Structure 1
């Protein structure tokens, strides 16, 4: 049933939320505009009033929903934790706990769309890469606060993101949180600055 509304912003949010959910559940290419209209309860005219094309909607989902998920899940804890190491471990523990509670692994929203769309369209690739860059830069900045020099912090941030992305893809395939739990356990020994790192940071050598 089509829902009529006098709340344009509310309708736009509903369309984004619906598209985000469907893209994660069945893929961007596997989701039709009819699917979106049916699930959101809107007419074609209402959908196209806010998003001129499926691609425009897809880019908006990436920029306004996927980016927000990364910020809330990964970047916000970096400012609240005592160290980058503890933040990473807290995030991974929370994700693993959520997977266990749901009993289903849907994967990382950013990783899911990157694997599907990065080679399909350059605009999608650029939008997705911008989120990875923001994630990497935020994590590297926090690791630098812990005493790592810039090159090591950037390399370690990339390693953490790559390890997580691979582990969550394996967890999705296995429908088990175990690959991510194993990843978290090993990352616990890789995110903290080593004694030489701390010495170099303190002495400048």
Structure 2
């Protein structure tokens, strides 16, 4: 049962709360299975307040994609890749960190971007475009990191293809992790990517083992 919340006179705080509740609901139950009434109830807001900020469920869905899912991908993937010493280290470390987080949480809800991509990409062109922009930014961050290393290897010369491959590997691994409720698909993909991208064995053995 949702806790009763004190009504806020801060419109921006209310808007943020609605977005947080909607993002969590779409992640755990899906966009189509979540009603605006569910969101109103959980966020503790009236219908008038909800519709003032989000006149339609679609407008709320687009806001969640742009203001919650996109920053999550930025924080989880794009920023760590840019900050890493090398592209390979950034990729392996990110897979490792996410796998460890799933182990600690004890439940796999899947990648929020991938979940919505599977559910909404064919439902509406605006959803498709918003989701596609995030995938493009994610892939671009990886390929730019690879290209910047200027090693002359296949990794740098085929950086765009490698960026797509890494994003697709992660998306598939998260789908399998969700189906099996296990972080192991992420760890397996990380090890294989490390090998394919020329990472040395020491980096691979530093991967933390999955919790059993």
- Asked whether 1:176 is paired with 2:182, we answer yes
Structure 1: give runs of 5+ residues left out of the alignment.
194-205
Closer, same or farther: CA 185–150 of 1 in aligned 2, 3 Å? closer
Question: Residue 83 in 1 paired to residue 86 in 2?
Answer: yes
Q: TM-score, normalised to structure 2's length?
A: 0.88
| 2:114 aligned partner | 111
Shift of 1:191: 3.1
CA distance in 2, matches of 1:12, 1:136: 30
The aligned residue for residue 157 of structure 1 is: 163
Do the aligned partners of residues 3 and 46 (structure 1) sit closer, same or farther apart at CA in structure 2, a change above 3 Å counting? farther
Aligned partners of 2:143 and 2:160 also within 8 Å: yes
CA distance in 2, matches of 1:125, 1:52: 20
Partner of 2:158: helix, strand, or coil? helix
Whole-Å Cα distance in 2 between the matches of residues 161 and 169 of structure 1? 12
What does residue 202 of structure 2 align with? none
Aligned counterparts of 2:156 and 2:52: Cα–Cα separation in 1 = 46
- 2:94 aligned with 1:94, yes or no? no
Give the deviation of 1:116 after TM superposition: 0.3
Which residue number in structure 1 is paired with residue 68 of structure 2?
A: 65
* Match 1:15 to one of 13, 18, 21: 18
Q: What residue is the counterpart of 2:52 in the other structure?
A: 49
Verify the 8 A CA contact 2:19 2:68 in the aligned structure 1. Answer: yes
Question: Aligned residue for 1:201?
Answer: none
TM-score (norm 1): 0.91
User: Considering only aligned residues, what root-mean-square deviation do their CA atoms show, in Å?
Assistant: 1.6
Q: Which runs of 5+ in 2 are unaligned?
A: 200-212
Q: Distance in 1 between matches of 2:28 and 2:198?
A: 35
| 2-structure distance, mates of 1:2, 1:81 | 41
Q: How many residues matched? A: 194
C-alpha separation in 2, matches of 1:159 and 1:151: 14
Q: What whole-Å deviation, never above 9, does each CA across 1:24-51 have from its counterpart, x for those lacking one? A: 0000000001100001000000000100
